[in-house]
Structure 1
């Protein structure tokens, strides 16, 4: 026998305490009644208390609660094998962690907003394999394609500009890293979700997008930021904003034109963060332009739930507890 929720059985230790409370309650009730009327008169009016029946009622109540706790723990025995098939697409999520992603033209800042969007995205994906790449001047695979979304969430917490010491925003390197992360022996549809503010310092994003198209990979782009842009926070710990050699504040503006070209080159779509979210890209873009294929199939062992055997017994004990009258009328 196994239990679905074994921790529930720890509450069984409360049953002896309940028994003591019931005994205490009975004694307090008896003392209160003795103060209201003469014991002999009370016996004539209400009948004599039968301690044996009181014990049986208490035992039935405690047993019923114990059986209900046992059933709540989910006892299981016996099993059968069930066929499972999981379908979806392969999605590599590329997140820009360059310093410009700390701009606060969207709150709280571009990078934090991107992190939250990916977390929400993981809650709506439907059986797809997800991977994660962080990039700035270079790109690194943080998590390969997996069905374990919890692993993706752990790596999302580590996304920050300090993660990659090479400055800049190389969209070409990011896209190429995404392409190399796929297994092209698999017939699964492949998607890159590029999350960036679009400042392609190396100018190689569109070239890499053409390579993705040749490989059959669609790129969906989520532009982080407002077209009007904003100043880049300084990273020297002194506060303020980054400045150029002439002392002018450096402004970071989202390059929407480049991002739209990258998405359209592969048959994907572009969405700006201030007008939509990743859920929109997923349902109106990825789901409509790709075909879910089998990612995982096999058999799993399913245990038979047996809690229903115990509930009628507990219910019967509760009925019997109610039907037992602890006071017996004195016959004249």
Structure 2
């Protein structure tokens, strides 16, 4: 694939035909002046050393050199450099429990935050492995398809909250089954399913799902987060979650069930508490899995091709200087590099050096920034990309990479600005689609779902074959729908609250009136009427107690009662 990094300079090529027209007009005037001196044939005999075609050849040699210089200014770039690095590692799917019970604080700072920290440390220890992310509660969905892009894994990890799933509860079996279907089809590579949960399985079937995964060559590891003694679930407003009977919910780590699932899946159970032993144990267990060569992430880059054009320009200039206008002037050859020729050569050389400098400087800064970015030095990479932009403000690759380094530093607002600038300057559809994709990721993290959906749609218009963007788009639509539903419910609760306040006020007034009426009736009530009312009240109380007793004997559904 061939492209120009600065195609605006190609407009200078309009000078070439203009110079050709000027040359033709000057030659025509020269011929007219020669005809005034005498017959052309006679003049030709009087000037035997004058060549007719050599001046024309020298002119077109200079034209070709000027054309190539303009092309060099436009920075020609060839191909795409594709890197297919082979790595030796394993595939890991992490299934994270994000039910409300994971908000308990028996593990500091909370079960969910502790899980995030542990998964992030696990990702930092990965070098040649692939990772995927599944979140589950009452249902499960894939948060991140299996990939070797660790930066994206951390970004998705930071945005995980229990609000991602409306249906609460804990369905470990569904998460394991989904993880089984999320691995690649490559054979011989070690595949691990890491289930991070507090063990409150409300649906059942987890042991059977772990056995099925083991039969397919996958190992199931269970990280139990929490305390067996139990802990209340904070709601964030200073209160704790209560069940339908008004009692405070105490969520406990079910270690027995966690061990059973891990044993059925051929893995190990690891208890996660406030020390770092669990991290070391998990690393040791994963190190036992067989590793195999896998194809890593494919990335592309453009290589500058101005060097080849520069060499051709030098060759053309040397030929032009050596090619004299006279046919055989041996004496004149001594002045091949005379004053005029030296001046011309120096000017051309200066222009070429300036062209090389302008073509290299911003590119070098971008390459330096890329090395720093891959090494995790995002702040230093940001400095390098900004220097590249200072040298060439219209370099879309510098703006795009600057946006990525800002994303890695959580400077999301500035990152969006840089990525948007990249979309305005970029001519490659693939690179522009990548910039729109990253804009969508940032907006999605900040729950700006409308803007994220627009960005993902723009990316898919430019690159319809991008499955990751298509997945993010569908996920974002789902999250937007949930957000709208939550806002609608909040508005309804607010309206109901206002209505209930008004109803209570009316009810209070009505009770006051009824109380006054009852007081008046009591004064007029006979002894016989009072006894009848007392018997009726006792009979009603007896019926109520029987209904309560009967209701308590009925089996209760875990799915409806347990909202944690």
The separation in 2 between residues aligned to 1:98 and 1:264, in whole angstroms, is 24
Task: Report if the CA contact (8 A) 1:121-1:278 is conserved.
Answer: no
- Alignment partner of 1:202 is 2:206: no
- Indicate the residue corresponding to 1:280 in structure 2: 280
| 1:117/1:277 contact within 8 Å kept | no
Whole-angstrom distance in 2 between the partners of 1:144 and 1:138: 17
CA contact (8 A) 2:84 2:295 kept: no
Partner of 2:137: 136
Aligned-pair distance for 1:238? 4.2
Cross-structure match for 2:226: 225
SS in 1 for 2:245: coil
Higher fraction of strand: 1
Is the contact between residue 242 and residue 248 of structure 2 (CA under 8 Å) also seen in structure 1? Answer: yes
Q: In the alignment, what sits opposite 1:249?
A: 248
**Secondary structure of 1:142's match?**
strand
C-alpha distance in 2, partners of 1:132/1:81?
A: 27
The TM-score with structure 2 as length reference comes to: 0.37
Cα contact 2:94–2:194 (8 A) shared by 1: yes
- In 1, Cα distance between equivalents of 2:83 and 2:248: 62
For 2:129 and 2:290, locate their aligned partners in 1 and report how far apart those are by CA, in whole Å.
11
Deviation track 1:242-285 (CA, whole Å, cap 9, x = no partner) reads: 11233211100001111111111122111111165553244320
User: After superposition, what is the alpha-carbon deviation per residue over 1:180-227, rounded to whole angstroms, capped at 9, x for unaligned?
Assistant: 101234332211011111100001211111111111110111111111
Q: As a proportion of its length, which structure holds more helix?
A: 2
Query: Relative contact order: is structure 1 or structure 2 higher (C-alpha 8 Å, sep ≥ 6)?
Result: 1
Q: Is the 8 A contact 2:271 2:278 kept in 1?
A: no
1:2-23 alpha-carbon deviations (Å, 9 max, x no partner): xxxxxxxxxxxxxxxxxxxxxx
> Match for residue 379 of structure 2?
none
Q: Distance in 2 between matches of 1:259 and 1:269?
A: 9
- The root-mean-square deviation of aligned C-alpha atoms, in Å, is 2.8
Tell me the residue number matched to 1:20.
none
| 2:270 counterpart SS class | strand
Question: Is 1:122 paired with 2:126?
Answer: no
Q: After alignment, is 178-187 or 107-116 more displaced?
A: 178-187
Structure 1: runs of 5+ lacking an equivalent: 1-79, 308-332
Distance 2:209 2:144 in 1: 21
Once residues 125 and 166 of structure 1 are traced to their aligned partners in structure 2, the CA distance between those partners, rounded to angstroms, is 32
Q: Work out whether residues 134 and 141 of structure 1, in 8 Å CA contact, stay in contact via their aligned partners in 2.
A: yes
Please give the alpha-carbon distance, in whole angstroms, between the structure 1 residues aligned to 2:82 and 2:156. Answer: 34
Distance 2:84 2:137 in 1: 43
Q: Relative to 1, partners in 2 of residues 1:184 and 1:299: Cα closer, same or farther, differing over 3 Å?
A: closer
Rounded to whole Å, the distance in 2 between the matches of 1:207 and 1:140 is 20
* Aligned positions of 1:1-332 closer than 5 A: 84-234=85-235, 238-274=237-273, 276-277=276-277, 279-288=279-288, 290-296=289-295
* TM-score of the two chains, using structure 1 as the length reference: 0.62
